[in-house]
Amino acid sequence: MEIPGQTVEVPEIPWKTRVELPAQSSAVIVVDMQNDFVKDGGSLVVPGAAATIESVQSLLAGARRAGVHIAYTQDTHSEGDPEWEIWPRHCELNSWGWQIVAELAPHKEDLICQKSRYDGFYGTPLEHFLANVWQVRHLVIVGTVSSICVLHTAASAGLRWFSVVLPCDCISALTEFDQALTLRQVSWLYTGSVTRTAAEISFAGGNVEQP
């Protein structure tokens, strides 16, 4: 077997040019769009994360108009957290870096799940709200980091038999390889749908609000 490196090619990714979801049984999950990951001066800034804000804003606006539920994950750590032995100190509770970026500030009706690990379902009430309170089956997952918290959250959703959709322009990675890995895994292993832009996703049949 050859050592991975220059011999590795990205398998074909089956892009969807249009995904229409039922509004009443869908939710958007915004993963870790926090100052430490997105804004200049953050301790773990992800290249390209800031560039996804506008696309995420557009997706959220459409989702809100259709009455789609929205949840946020918020990476949250305190003194002595073992994750700081892996990564630089980041997303410390109540710090500037911990805050969700102002452009994507949650609304009062949105769910915010503080999490201590990569998976948005781990140790949080996310599954309870999605499955039992909101009773949704379709998830559009956006945010950062693509191959870490986005992928682990999408994988956890897939293992729970949620239908997962990832818009490429709403997720950001540390490397181009990591971005491809995420899209490949979600579309292949978890039979999710990946689109090139958020504009290719629409919500139908909801209680449409006036803009």
Q: What are the residue ranges spanned by the domains of the chain?
A: 19-204
CATH number given to 19-204: 3.40.50.850
As given in the structure block, the two tokens for residue 174 are 């540390």
Reported as a single tens digit per residue, the pLDDT across 161-210 is 999 999 999 999 999 999 999 999 999 999 999 999 999 999 998 654 43
- pLDDT tens-digit readout, 123-148: 999 999 999 999 999 999 999 999 99
Total length of the chain: 211
Say which residues have a Cβ less than 8 Å from residue 195's Cβ, sequence separation at least 6. 15, 16, 17, 18, 19, 165, 166, 167, 168, 201
Q: Quick one: pLDDT at residue 71?
A: 98
Q: Residue 105 corresponds to which amino acid?
A: A
Q: How many separate helices (H) and strands (E) can be counted in the chain? A: 5, 9
pLDDT of 46 strictly over 70: yes
pTM for this model (two decimals): 0.94
Cα-based angle 191, 193, 194 (whole degrees, multiple of 5)? 130
